[in-house]
């Protein structure tokens, strides 16, 4: 599970980096920045839902650290 979460974080950061690259390169003339940011949001939502599902199925356990 740790590997899946790490890969998801790498994908999110890579998508954010590609959005920055497209923003600087295209100067707002294309929709590639918007698509890259939408992909980042999608990866984030999928990661969140995966963590909720993993907690529900018992694949991961809370650490017990109080807020």
The reply to whether 47 falls in a domain is: yes
The reply to whether 45 falls in a domain is: yes
Residue 67: pLDDT over 70: no
- Residue 64's SS3 state is coil
Q: Domain range for residue 15?
A: 2-57
The reply to whether 15 falls in a domain is: yes
DSSP conformation class of 12:
H
Query: Given this model, what pLDDT does residue 54 score?
Result: 93
The reply to whether 66 falls in a domain is: no
Query: Given this model, what pLDDT does residue 2 score?
Result: 86
Rounding to the nearest 10 degrees, give the CA dihedral for residues 34, 19, 15, 45. Answer: -40
This prediction's pTM:
0.78
Section 33-58 average pLDDT: 93
Query: Given this model, what pLDDT does residue 30 score?
Result: 83
Query: Given this model, what pLDDT does residue 18 score?
Result: 93
Q: Domains in the chain: how many in total?
A: 1
């Amino acid at each position: 599970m740790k590997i899946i979460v790490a890969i998801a974080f790498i994908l999110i950061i890579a998508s954010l980096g590609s959005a920055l690259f497209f923003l600087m390169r295209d100067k707002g003339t294309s929709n590639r920045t918007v698509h890259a940011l939408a992909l980042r949001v999608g990866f984030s939502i999928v990661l969140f839902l995966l963590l909720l599902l993993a907690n529900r199925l018992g694949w991961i356990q809370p650490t017990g650290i109080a807020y």
